[in-house]
Structure formats: structure tokens, C-alpha cells
Homo-oligomer: A and B are copies of this chain.
Amino acid sequence: MFEVIGERINTSRKKVQEAVASKDAQYIIDDVQKQQNAGATYIDVNAGARIGHETQDMQWLLDTIQPIATVPLTLDSPDPSVLEMAFQMAEKTPMINSISLEKERYDAMMPFLEGKNCKIIALCMDDSGMPDSSDDIIARANTLVKELNNIGIGTGSIYIDPLVQPISTDSNKGVMVLDAVRGIKAKYPEVHITGGLSNISYGLPQRKIINRTFVTLMMAAGMDSAIIDPLDEKIMGTVRTADMLLGHDDFCMNFLKGVRAGAILS
């Protein structure tokens, strides 16, 4: 089944920041329940936007969310001390967002991850910047899988983010990442592929049709997870439909359930 990492609980979003600042627990609870009802299978929690408040905001968010959470959380921070606190609070095996090959982040995250029972999002980013070819993405994914395996994280717990780049800057950016996903999945059938999708349409008009057509192509290539807004009915409807067409929905049950719930519109 496709994993939907709901991206809405992020203090860089104005309403979430206001709710956190005013301790409006009901707003957060309502948002999380809406994401779960819409099909989120992880809830990402990012408390990074209020400078100097990340630890206490993360703590308050977890205290608020966990009593009503039916799915595990994605703990989203670059700061291992925040992640350590959040990891200790987590009631279900969490996903960590994220490690990369950038030296500073890598050196901070590896000791935190060693020996932990968690899922991890691993970005194909290094200090030279974004990857510039399929082979480059695949090489970075190889390094991440090997290094994470070495500290005890199994391949099936790794979510590689190949870093989707805008097709407006280079007509080849779609094919580049699609080829990379196929290459990574051919080498590591158990690894997961995740990431944001909306970068693909940056700089172009009518972004939503680009994003949902692209998620379909990425799913065909082997992407089995994405960081998206579960309340975006068009992209969620496309994900359920593509899952069915790719043979992951026996008797079209999930599709039909989505239609009955009003979540899949033509």
C-alpha cells in the first residue's frame, strides 16, 4: 500500500504556528483527524519555525497529537536533541525526517540513529548540492543505504528521497528522477522511495495537473510513499486510482471505498 506522509502539522504554516503559540490543542487535533480520515498513514510533525521554541513546541505537539493518533508519526527536525526527546515520547515506531549526505547533517544524525528502531527518510543531497543525473542520484542512494545498514537500519526501514527538481529548468528533470527511482528499486527491492512532489512543477502554471500526473509516473517507477497534503483531494484520488491500476487494490476495494467516501472525483 502507498504510504501517505501528511505534511500539514508544520509550524511554518501560519495557522499551525498560531495554534501552537496559543496552545489551541483543538485546532491541531482536528487537523490530524482530518488527515487520518483522508488516508494519511504517517503524520509529519515539524516544530522548527518558532526560533528558540522547537523543543517545547515539539513536546506540546506530541502531547496533543498522540492521544488521538491512530497512525505513527514522522518526527521532522534537523536537530538530534529535539529528535531524541521526540523519539523517547513516541508511542509507535516513528519515522525520522531526515538524514542526508551533507557533512554537518550526516555527522549529527548518524550517532542519533545508531541502534534505534525507526524508519528514516534519507535525502540524496550532499555538500555539492542537488544531484545532476540519474547515476548521481543512484550513487547517493547506494551510499545512504550502505551507511545506514552499517549502523543497524535495515533496507526496508529506509525511505530514499531522490529529490524532485523543477522541469521548468530542464526538460530532462522528470526522466532523470524516474530513471533513478527504477535504478534504486532494481538494486534494492525492499527500499522505499518517498519525497515531496510539487518541486516538479515549480515555475510553471497549472501546477496541480503536473503534480498529480507526476505522482502517477513516479508510482509506476516504484515510488511507494510521498510527503503530501492528504486534504488535497485531487492528488489523493489520483494516488488511490494509480494504486488500483498498478495491481495493489484487490477487487478495487480501496478505490470503491474512496468513491463512497466522496474522496475520488473525476
Contacts and interface: CB of A to CB of B under 8 A. Distances in A.
Interface in A202-260: 204-210, 213-214, 216-217, 220-221, 234, 237-238, 241-242, 244-247, 249-252, 255-256, 259
Given A172-B247, A174-B246, A175-B247, A241 B213 contact: yes
Nearest to A260: B205
Interface string A194-208: 000000100011111
Contacts of A216: 213, 216-217, 220, 242
14 contacts: A174-B244, A178-B246, A205-B256, A205-B259, A206-B237, A206-B259, A210-B244, A213-B245, A214-B245, A216-B216, A217-B217, A217-B245, A220-B220, A220-B221
A51 interface: no
A238 B213 contact: yes
Interface centre among A171, A172, A178, A265 (most CB of B within 10 A): A171
A22 interface: no
Given A206-B264, A216-B220, 6 more contacts: A171-B247, A174-B244, A174-B247, A205-B256, A217-B245, A220-B220
A220 B250 CA distance: 23
Can you tell how many copies of this chain the complex includes?
Answer: 2
A255 B167 CA distance: 11
A266 B174 contact: no
A252 B169 CA distance: 10
Contact of A168 (B171, B175, B220, B252): B252
Interface string A150-168: 0000000000000000011
Contacts of A171: 244, 247, 249-252
